[in-house]
Amino acid sequence: MKHPDNKERYSYLSNKWKNGAATKTEEKELMDWLNAYAVQLEVPRHFSASESDLRKEIYSNISRAIAEKPKRLKLWWKGIAAAAVLLIAFAALFLYINQGPATLLTYQHNIRPGHNSATLTLANGKKIKLSDQVSGEIIKEAGVFIHKDRDGKLVYSMGNAYSAPGDAPRFNTLSTSTGETYQVHLPDGTDVWLNAGSSIKYPANFAMGTERRVSLSGEAYFEIAKNKDRPFFVTTDKQEIKVLGTHFNLSSYEDEPITKTTLLEGSIGLRALNREETAVLKPGQQAILSSENLSLSHTDAEKSIAWKNGKFEFVSEDIGSILRQIARWYDVEIVYKDELLNRQFSGSFSKFDNVAKVLRTIELTNDVHFKIEGRRILVMK
């Protein structure tokens, strides 16, 4: 009998089964394949340390599954002897998977991930491409020093800042294109990480006034400098957030149907701009503002800032939302050849992987397939 050559599909299924996340249909597909596979393979005589550890881990999971859910294996394996057979099959499966290249998808033209860059627009309209600047002072404006540090971060520091009575605020705008991210240290000590395809507008000098205000389009993670006498406001086209000092992530893209606000530390007050709805968030809560309502839920807040830490983290997320995030980071156009309704995906991968690897991972669900043409990604059933 010929063995199936879809290695990654069965790696995907085995990991889902091991973690208890496989559906009944996926379990049957995997078990049928392993049953056919196991009778044709012998246990290798020598295992490396990592393979031995893998066998122990798999055996532990199998034993637990048999003890807790005896119906799970039904007609395929019974008792400890059956677990041993499955152990052999899984060990052989992982050896098989780890031999040779993946066969699902290959691309003649790969697309590299995004990078650290942004454009700074000064109050006078002058634009500065920060990736073209060496570290050191860029400009001095209204007594505020603006420089780029050795890590590539944009830093505002207060010199002899001045603001004459009646002077209009001098606003700067930091913007990232698709395929770019950047970090800025604002004059009040607040740190902001800007995701791809985003912009933040702020006063170059926070020295005056009784409050601090910025406006955001896109997504950013904020670590607000504490100042109980001068609240910090973040405004989008849909909502306003008021804080004194806290850590939170705000995602408000124009092409997304919802705005997500996730609190990691402190407390924030949120107000919808198009209707009379407000909320106060506690750490670990996420507010979702749609055209219909404002709702709160508990969430793993760290996953909301995975993008800041170089990762994509998805938990039962709509495939359309995932592909929009991929489009922003890899600077590609997504073209749907088929309509995809109610398709969701859970997974994690590095933002620094080439797009081929990312798409191949999503394809393992068998719910969606991709084709790359230049910088266009075609999406098909």
Amino acid residing at 327: A
> Token pair 């790969």 is at which residue?
110
Characterize the bridge pairing of strands 285-289 and 333-336: unpaired
Task: Locate 4 and state its tokens.
Answer: 């199936």
Residue 364: the pLDDT is 81
- Distance CA(212)–CA(381), nearest Å, equals 48
How many whole angstroms from its chain centre is CA 115? 15
Per-residue pLDDT of the chain (381 residues; tens, 9 = 90+): 344 446 667 667 776 766 666 676 776 776 666 555 443 333 333 333 344 444 445 535 544 443 444 444 444 444 444 444 455 455 545 544 554 333 334 444 568 889 999 999 999 999 999 999 888 888 887 678 899 998 899 999 876 555 555 566 789 999 999 999 999 999 899 999 999 999 999 998 876 678 999 999 999 999 999 998 899 999 999 999 999 889 999 999 999 999 999 999 999 999 999 888 999 999 999 999 998 899 999 999 999 999 999 999 998 899 999 999 999 999 999 999 888 767 888 888 899 988 988 898 888 888 889 999 889 999 998
CB 349 within 8 A of CB 361: yes
Residue 183: the pLDDT is 97
Using N-to-C axis directions, what is the helix angle for 79-97 and 49-68, rounded to 10°? 140
Q: Is the dihedral angle over the CA atoms 369, 371, 376, 378 positive or is it negative?
A: negative
Q: Is the dihedral angle over the CA atoms 72, 363, 307, 324 positive or is it negative?
A: negative
Residue 40: the pLDDT is 36
Q: Can you give the pTM of this predicted structure? A: 0.72
Amino acid residing at 162: Y
The full set of domains in the chain, from first to last, is 7-97 (no CATH), 115-303 (2.60.120.1440), 310-380 (3.55.50.30)
Residue 140: partners with Cβ closer than 8 Å, 6 or more residues away: 146, 159
Residue 280: the pLDDT is 95
- Distance CA(245)–CA(241), nearest Å, equals 12
- Grouping H, G, I as helix, E, B as strand and the rest as coil, residue 314 is strand
CB 217 within 8 A of CB 251: no
How many whole angstroms from its chain centre is CA 199? 18
- Grouping H, G, I as helix, E, B as strand and the rest as coil, residue 136 is strand
Residue 125: the pLDDT is 93
